[in-house]
Amino acid sequence: MIATRLHPDKQAAAQAIAREIADLIEIRSKSGKPTVLGLATGSTPLPLYGELIRLHREEKLSFRAVITFNLDEYEGLGPTHPQSYRSFMEENLFRHLDIPKANIHIPDGLTSDAAKHCADYEAAIHAAGGIDLQLLGIGRTGHIGFNEPPSAADSRTRRVHLDELTRRDNSAFFGDLAQVPHGALTMGVATILEARRVELIAFGEAKADIVRRAMKETPSAGCPATWLQQHPRCTFHLDAAAAKAL
Ligand code: PGA
């Protein structure tokens, strides 16, 4: 079941989701429990990360008891590469918060044993108690994380090949298509579906068609975001442009 929540603009969506995250952290910390967040990269979550930083600075929201697992990382990019998701997260979120470094998990794009690294990533999520809230963007291919079509509902954290449309869409960050890696490590669809709550964010007209497909098409590997229909607690946060085709 996918619920939709329409927001007047990106900033309003960021404020609403940041408030939900803050409430979750506060509720769990009252009973002495950590909060496990699944995090996403790309341009979509940036206003949300800005708002979380504001809540930390101005409202003293603490991330000391937060554990994070990022969805994915480009293959071949190390932590200091400016386009790696590790640097993206450091720059746009982590370095502004009080989250302990040991609580941050992002797949290692330089691993020499991807199969083992991915199995260890799954085990670390499990050991942390599972993901309480997973943030997602959606790619125009229907990917969630880097689960490009075809991605089965039972897929796990693994090495994947990026779709050419995704490489083109992400080339803006690299300045040049040739610089965009061809591979990535990503949490699987099953990994994402196991999160207790999923909050997907999509803005703008370019996402309208894929948002419609994700919500209306019969779930299939050909459009991986359709698997979210099988999640018991998934919300699509949209602006009017992204909701246009619904
Ligand atoms: P975007 O990417 O936020 O840059 O649009 C979303 C995604 O590919 O999941």
What tens digit of pLDDT does each residue of 121-171 get?
999 999 999 999 999 999 999 999 999 999 999 999 999 999 999 999 999
Tell me the torsion sign for CA atoms 13, 74, 64, 38.
positive
Burial of residue 156 (CB within 10 Å: 0-12, 13-18, 19+) is middle
CA distance readout (Å), 144 to 45, 132, 192: 13, 17, 9
Q: Where are the domains of the chain?
A: 2-238
Q: Give the residue, out of 169, 192, 205, with the most ligand 1 atoms within 8 A of its beta carbon, to mutate for a pocket test.
A: 169
5-28 pLDDT per residue, tens: 999 999 999 999 999 999 999 999
Q: Considering the entire predicted model, what is its pTM?
A: 0.98
Ligand 1 atom with least separation from CA of 145: 9
Look-up of token digits 């709550």: 197
Instruction: Give distance in angstroms: CA of 28 to centre of ligand 1.
Output: 29
Mean pLDDT (whole number) for 64-81? 98
Q: How many CB atoms lie within 10 A of CB 132?
A: 21
Q: Give the residue, out of 10, 41, 44, with the most ligand 1 atoms within 8 A of its beta carbon, to mutate for a pocket test.
A: 44
Q: Quick one: pLDDT band at residue 1, thresholds 50, 70, 90?
A: confident
Q: Give the residue, out of 10, 41, 151, with the most ligand 1 atoms within 8 A of its beta carbon, to mutate for a pocket test.
A: 41
3-state secondary structure of 228: helix
**Structure tokens belonging to residue 199:** 């909050």
3-state secondary structure of 35: strand
Kindly report the protein residue whose alpha carbon is nearest to atom 1 of ligand 1: 42
CATH T-level fold of 2-238:
Rossmann fold (3.40.50)
Instruction: Return the axis-axis angle of helices 10-30 and 46-59, rounded to nearest 10°.
Output: 50
